[in-house]
Chains A and B, each alone.
Chain A
Amino acid sequence: MRKKRHITRSDIDGFLFALPWLVGFVLLCVYPLSMSLYYSFTEFNPITDPVWIGLENYISLFKDPRFYKSLRNTCFYAFIATPINLVTALVLASLISRRFRGRGLVRTVFFLPSVIPMVAATMVWIWMFDPTYGFINNFLKWFSIDGPAWLINPKTTKWALVMMGMWGTGTTMLVCLAALQDVPVSYYESAQMDGANGVQRFLFITLPCVAHVIVYQAILNLINAFQYFTQVYVITTASGGSTSGASGGPENSILMYPLYLFHNAFIYQKMGKASAMAWILMVVVGLLTIVMVKLSDKAVSNAGGE
């Protein structure tokens, strides 16, 4: 016997209230995602129709040295900048989790860079990184250090990006701060009675309590690293770029994955190849997201559910 479906009044109301998002989900997620998978097996430019070419885009990507270069650059940034940003965020957060006068102001100062439009912030940094007139190298000169040509020398370009990333770690810092403030004071009090010193308290109380937040933020930072675009686009167009308008910086040292994808789609007009890159990116980000969801479920159940 078929089970009778009960559609209640609430079901209709709930559906209607959520309808705009559901429409958006189909039109802006499901449809483009499936189309992009189909496109990845075709060849076309913005004005032609896609022609099926099977796996050729993927094969040409796996033979493309610039594809590997962009993947390496992105992985470098993801796995170097993420831990550095997390440590920076955690240190700043633990500094301002103390009580002192002007604490609110300091928190604002640390967070301020995160609200500035990326384009404007990147431009200021390009100017600060100028080898002769930039602030950074002039500052280093006071200590008789000859600063590198930050954005010109392919060996230092990515480190310049890492520095910019540290400056913009405010969001992660705020989350860490909130996590630190959630640690029950009684834990610290009893540890102090047992004679634990500051380092021990940090290692055995603070860290375990905020661990799930840190892991979550780490994955979020990784995902963001795989979408790193605006900064490198601005930098590569500022340094003159090549005549085709598709530059990856000095020796392609900051040719990040999304930037190369953009070049393929809108400059080389190989939209099929770009779609193949998009789907590889999709798989990476998808896997990271699944890990993140699993971890946050676990964190919630560890905390005794919500």
Chain B
Amino acid sequence: MNPYRAKKYMSKILFAVLIAVLAIIFLLPFVVMFTTSFKTMEDAFMVPVRIWPREFTVENYRKAINKIPYFSYMGNTAYITLLSLLGEMLVVPMVAYSLAKIRWKGAGLISGLLMGTMMLPFTVTMIPLYRTWHALGLTGTYVPLIAPHFVGNAYYIIIMRQFMKGLPNSLFEAATLDGASEFQMYLRIALPLCKPALTTVGIYTFLSAWSDYLAPLIYINKKDKMTLSLGLQQFLNEYTIDWTQLMAAAVIFVLPILGLFLIFQRNFVEGIATAGLKA
């Protein structure tokens, strides 16, 4: 082998090693989570730590789903998530259509406002919102968690608007000549063409509703109404934390998200790139 090729070969190997090491580091917390969830208590509390359990047990899973009403919490979380999804799916494309495809006086102003509201921290509006929902007697219900999704999230609208801008105007012009109303064009032309962006927004909504923490924390005050992210917290409130059970509970919590992500990876990645570069 000539020295030039040898050098090239070496740098290829170095690169592969570097990538492998980094990938292992990023995967470690997942590995720790999964393996701990199958460990016996003795294995988990052993020094030095061994990553691989000496014996696999599913006992932790059995105990974890009995310690808290796991599937009832999962049902609550799924209920909130699905209704939030419905809300965003109904509203986001509509508003985006108004901004991307209808020429009207307010479009520019709204586009500007979107950016500002996207950055508005929930902690800033949290107290008045809490008071309002409380006055309406709706704290302790899921309404304060779901209702905000029925007005459309600014970030999702921006992603969707960007996508709709890319749809050829000629389609809409032809339909206008045929006498189609704006709503017909939205329903028959824009919406079917927006499926990729809709999927992206859907996944983001699912993810954020499924994982939401602060809002359920302040609004949900009864144990039987809790979501999974709050339920998980109960494992930490014990005097001594049983990490094997907690990790088992975390695995079941995380699995739907992981599955969804692996299936729809492409939408995820493209949505982020679009919003990050062009917002």
Contact = CB atoms under 8 A, between A and B. Distances in A.
B276 A237 contact: no
B193 interface: no
Contacts of A132: 47
17 contacts: A15-B98, A15-B106, A24-B148, A39-B127, A107-B269, A109-B27, A110-B23, A115-B207, A118-B211, A119-B211, A119-B233, A119-B253, A141-B48, A179-B276, A227-B123, A234-B233, A281-B123
B116 A289 contact: yes
A174 B253 contact: no
A120 interface: yes
Most chain A CB neighbours (cut-off 10 Å) among B107, B125, B268: B125
B128 to A, nearest CB: 4
B239 to A, nearest CB: 8
A55 B206 CA distance: 42
A293 interface: yes
Contacts of A33: 120, 124-125, 128
Given A14-B107, A46-B134, A285 B119 contact: yes
A103 to B, nearest CB: 9
Contacts, number: 272
A123 to B, nearest CB: 6
Contacts of B110: 18, 21-22
Contact of A285 (B47, B121, B214, B279): B121
Given A15-B104, A36-B124, A116-B257, A127 B32 contact: yes
Interface size range of chain B in the complex: 35 or more
Contact of A32 (B91, B128, B213, B278): B128
- Chain A contact residues, majority secondary structure: helix
Contacts of B130: 46, 265
B29 A35 contact: no
Interface stretch (A5-13, A63-71, A151-159): A5-13
B36 interface: yes
Interface stretch (B2-10, B61-69, B240-248): B240-248
B276 A213 contact: yes
B49 A108 contact: no
B194 interface: no
- Chain B contact residues, majority secondary structure: helix
Given A133-B44, A178-B277, A265-B126, A226 B121 contact: yes
Given A13-B104, A17-B102, A261-B123, A28 B233 contact: no
A128 to B, nearest CB: 6
Given A31-B128, A46-B134, A175-B276, A117 B257 contact: yes
B170 interface: no
A167 interface: yes
Given A17-B102, A25-B113, A285-B120, A175 B272 contact: yes
A120 B250 contact: yes
Interface in A199-232: 213, 216-217, 223, 226-227, 229-230
A60 B18 CA distance: 52
B236 A238 contact: yes
A274 interface: yes
Interface in A56-77: none
Interface in B159-189: 182-183, 186
Most chain A CB neighbours (cut-off 10 Å) among B124, B217, B218, B235: B124
A21 B157 contact: yes
A13 B151 CA distance: 17
Contact of A29 (B15, B36, B120, B254): B120
A97 interface: no
A120 B116 CA distance: 30
Contact of A271 (B30, B127, B154, B182): B127
Contacts of B38: none
Closest 7 CB pairs between A and B? A24-B151, A14-B104, A175-B276, A117-B211, A17-B98, A178-B273, A32-B125
Interface string B15-48: 1101100110011111011001000000011111
A296 interface: yes
A36 B104 contact: no
